[in-house]
Chains A and B, each alone.
Chain A
């Protein structure tokens, strides 16, 4: 078995923005606290540098919390770790099966039933049809949605959607779990269930990377923390030093 790990070296990620007049942007390029750095590339196209020269090494058992202002690059980093973006510079290497819970509505068809959506999302997450059918009962039970699973997803509340998405995503035998914010959507019961499931995952020698603005949540789940600022990362610190990082703002 390969060792679970995340290794990011000197990662720089820029978003070229098409169809924006670079000149009209220039006047507004003054330093702002929100967002990545805007710039014009040699070709004159507008670019947003969402991450710059980021290094990160995580091993089994690490639960990293990401903090930072809006637009500091947390979501971009999570997406890059899930393999969606090709780096402009540097390298991302992830060993282990990845489960990304970034967007609740990913692959969700609102007019399809909960069960159909479990199948669809499971397929997207890399499960085979057989695997999904084998796990269907477990997923259904964990979601706690009961008879609602036979109803179209559009009849669900945000929390119910979160339950379903979380249930499917964590049903994958994943080693690396990437989560953006939304875990706080569910109610107290669900939070408790989710908490147990997450701890379970980490006990199975996995890695968790969680982005959140909620210090309490970070303390609950993470043992390490990293701050992003305009795409530049701080050192990875122990969660006990969270206040220090927050104060550095």
Chain B
């Protein structure tokens, strides 16, 4: 029904109808995926316009952090640099993806308010824009990962496929979290501050900089932290270890439940989101 040729908007209500409209938004955003990609790419280009290194500046600052923390903590905790540096490098880069996608999610609709209030663009387009922008950034920071993998010879032990599976599950989860905070932030302007605090807290509560060896396996402190599961399913295989199967299961369940929740919230609030802005 929805195409470039035919636009229909009705005051019809009903739960089923709202869900079908939400689904239509999603489908349209898929048909216009090139737009989300263009917008994301434009965001990255424009943020770093006039800068020679562009997004690599963040890569460099991350790289310095990896070096500093890698060397310092290895010394403090008495772990070998070869063991700790790749661990921290991957921790920082992948946690960066999580924090970025979720924090920037808060701005997704607020930033797009002028476009949302005068075009019929699907709202999902802007969710994908945020997610894709963060993936583009990740692609830049991947230099660090490749660096440590080569330098510390991890390519001999690493297992790429489980890591990619972990990354995929992580992205699927980040996308719904990003969308949920996008809707919430549009309505309640305290949410971005709240989300930022949570993410700051999470970086210390998640084994990004430290090793969870002090905890017995599957300690509640870890298993209740979704970021732990995201990080470990990507990082462990790259370090040549095996991630706990439970983490994959948790992520899969979280993805299904999270999307069900987010999609329902979207279906219910969709017609009002533009008025929140």
Contact = CB atoms under 8 A, between A and B. Distances in A.
A90 B11 contact: yes
Interface string B8-52: 111110000000000000000000101100110010011001000
Interface stretch (A123-131, A160-168, A194-202, A207-215): A123-131
A94 B121 contact: no
Contact of A2 (B6, B34, B38): B6
B173 to A, nearest CB: 28
Interface string B143-158: 0000000000000000
B119 A83 contact: yes
B115 interface: yes
B273 to A, nearest CB: 10
A87 B11 CA distance: 5
B73 to A, nearest CB: 40
B9 A92 contact: yes
A88 B11 contact: yes
A94 B11 CA distance: 15
A102 interface: yes
Nearest to B187: A18
A106 B9 contact: no
A124 B122 CA distance: 11
Interface string B38-76: 110010011001000000000000000000000000000
B225 interface: no
B35 A16 contact: no
Interface string B258-277: 00000000000011101110
B120 interface: yes
A83 B7 contact: yes
Most chain B Cβ neighbours within 10 Å, of A85, A102, A109: A85
Contacts of B197: none
A83 B25 CA distance: 12
A197 to B, nearest CB: 20
B196 interface: no
B4 A126 contact: yes
A130 to B, nearest CB: 10
B116 A84 contact: yes
B11 A84 contact: no
A61 interface: no
A109 B39 CA distance: 11
A86 B117 contact: no
Contact of A109 (B5, B46, B274, B275): B46
Contact of B9 (A86, A111, A128): A86
Nearest to B120: A83
B37 to A, nearest CB: 9
Contacts of A124: 35, 115, 119, 121
B223 interface: no
B114 interface: yes
A93 to B, nearest CB: 5
Contact of B8 (A18, A79, A92, A103): A92
Nearest to B272: A16
A100 interface: yes
Contacts of A15: 275
Closest 5 CB pairs of A and B: A83-B120, A86-B271, A87-B11, A89-B11, A94-B7
19 contacts: A2-B6, A15-B275, A16-B272, A16-B275, A79-B118, A80-B9, A82-B119, A84-B118, A85-B274, A89-B11, A92-B8, A92-B9, A95-B5, A98-B120, A103-B114, A107-B115, A109-B42, A123-B34, A124-B119
Given A79-B118, A83-B7, 19 more contacts: A2-B5, A16-B272, A16-B275, A18-B187, A82-B119, A83-B119, A84-B116, A84-B274, A86-B10, A87-B10, A89-B11, A91-B12, A94-B6, A97-B4, A103-B118, A109-B42, A111-B49, A112-B46, A112-B49
